[in-house]
Structure 1
Amino acid sequence: MSALVKSRGAFIVLEGCDRVGKSTQVLRLLEALTEAGVPNKVLKFPDRTTSIGKHIDAYLRRKLELPDKAVHLLFAANRWEVEGEMKSDLLSGQTLVVDRYAYSGVAYTAAKKVAPLWWCKAPDIGIPAPDVVFYLKLPAKVAEQRDVYGDERYEQVGFQQEVEQQFEALRGPQWIELDASRNIESLHKDILAKALEVIRAVDRQPIGELWTDDAVVQSSS
């Protein structure tokens, strides 16, 4: 396959509840894009290597307790930490493949019922907007059967079902829902085909900003 040279890279996000196979599909996509000659870079949120990310890591491993709203703001700050780097990478022609993004931050906090959806979205207003979101959907009862389920704070079936409902409320026109119970290779082929379409389509389009046109968020915040 010939290399795809574009004026900017595409911003590709994989979302979904815990243990649906996002990390596996991210790796498969990166390998395929590299083989296709597409400059690419992977990001995973939360980024546990940053100063803020280390606090998040301790929280997720149950080694640190924090109020729910404070945790939410930490997750948002963790994304803003690399906002400038993300834009620079995209404008240099690199395609970003991101494992979880602001949608997860909003869905998980909203599922706790500690704040309305508009409040949860507000800290991420203006962050770079994805060109496509691959939403991997899998029943929580099925995900529960996968290896090491339950190792981290949020891996509880009842809570994951609440998270799924919040994801449904966040879906937008750039979202593509995929059945995560399918064969890994079949799922990968569908993701790759659409990803290549998006990479070609963004061409010289400007980088979007997340939720800046959301009237409900703007009026409520």
Structure 2
Amino acid sequence: MTHFMVGKFIVVEGIDKSGKTTVALKVKEYLQKYKKSIHCMSFPERTTEIGKILNKFLSKKIKLPNETVHLLFSANRWEFAKEISEKRKDQIILCDRYYLSGLSYSIVNGLDEEWCEFSDKGLPKPDLTIFIDIKPTQVVCRKGFGEEIYECSEYQKKVYEVLKINVLKSKEFMIIDGNLSIEEIVENISLSILNLK
């Protein structure tokens, strides 16, 4: 097996309830067997003041204009830009969602793509973006689907299409079949990370 420099920034993308969080945690467990230092994070990070506002919005407690929502999500990522830059030097960062999610959701909400991209310019770029490819029709029955504002089948169908296109534009990406068993998904992703140059 090829070994690489310790630090890498890996982003896991996918539609709502596609299994991103579960996959990231299990990949962490897998990589720790190889004595790798792993740091997991997810966006939005709901513990900050900005994150708390986003949480209220996502849980349908407050209403906000789409432009405001986009900028808040972007600001939430910027809150952790320095931490990402530092930790990626000697750790593997596994990140559940990042700027491609922000871009894709905002495009679906009717915002201009170039305008959306501007607020994220300068953020640390991932070494690898992984897309868990599963259709919206297959996640609607999963526990908790529908609890947050964007969790409806037709909306997620649009997000799926835009997000997949944006992932394919990434410099380094991996598409993983979300219909595989969780064990297969985790092993495939973990081995890809271990073999990154």
Q: What does residue range 165-176 of structure 1 map to in structure 2 within 5 Å?
A: 165-170=161-166, 171=168, 172-176=170-174
Q: CA deviation at 1:145?
A: 1.6
Q: CA deviation at 1:173?
A: 3.4
Match of 1:110 in 2: 107
Structure 1 contact 38–95 (Cα < 8 Å) conserved? yes
Q: CA deviation at 1:182?
A: 1.1
Aligned residues with identical type, % of pairs: 32
Structure 2 contact 57–63 (Cα < 8 Å) conserved? yes
Q: What does residue range 152-163 of structure 1 map to in structure 2 within 5 Å?
A: 152-163=148-159
Alignment partners' CA distance in 1, 2:21 and 2:67: 27
Alignment partners' CA distance in 1, 2:187 and 2:66: 38
Q: CA deviation at 1:34?
A: 1.6
Matched length: 194
CA-based RMSD of the aligned residues comes to 1.4
Alignment partners' CA distance in 2, 1:145 and 1:191: 25
Q: CA deviation at 1:5?
A: 7.4
Instruction: Tell which has more relative contact order, 1 or 2 (C-alpha 8 A, sep 6+).
Output: 2
* 1:54 maps to which of 52, 56, 63: 52
Match of 1:189 in 2: 187
Q: Which runs of 5+ in 2 are unaligned?
A: none
Deviations 1:30-72 (A, max 9, x none): 1112221111101100000011101001100111111110010
Match of 2:95 in 1: 98
Deviations 1:6-30 (A, max 9, x none): 3x51000100101111111101111
**SS of alignment partner, residue 102 of structure 2:** helix
Alignment partners' CA distance in 1, 2:117 and 2:165: 12
Deviations 1:100-131 (A, max 9, x none): 00000011111111x12111111101100000
Alignment partners' CA distance in 2, 1:175 and 1:118: 21
- The answer to whether 1:133 aligns with 2:129 is yes
CA radius of gyration, larger in: 1
Q: What does residue range 1-221 of structure 1 map to in structure 2 within 5 Å?
A: 6=5, 9-91=7-89, 93-113=90-110, 115-170=111-166, 171=168, 172-198=170-196, 201=197
Q: Which runs of 5+ in 1 are unaligned?
A: 202-221
Structure 1 contact 5–38 (Cα < 8 Å) conserved? no
Structure 1 contact 29–191 (Cα < 8 Å) conserved? yes
The runs of 4+ residues in structure 1 deviating greater than 3 Å are: none
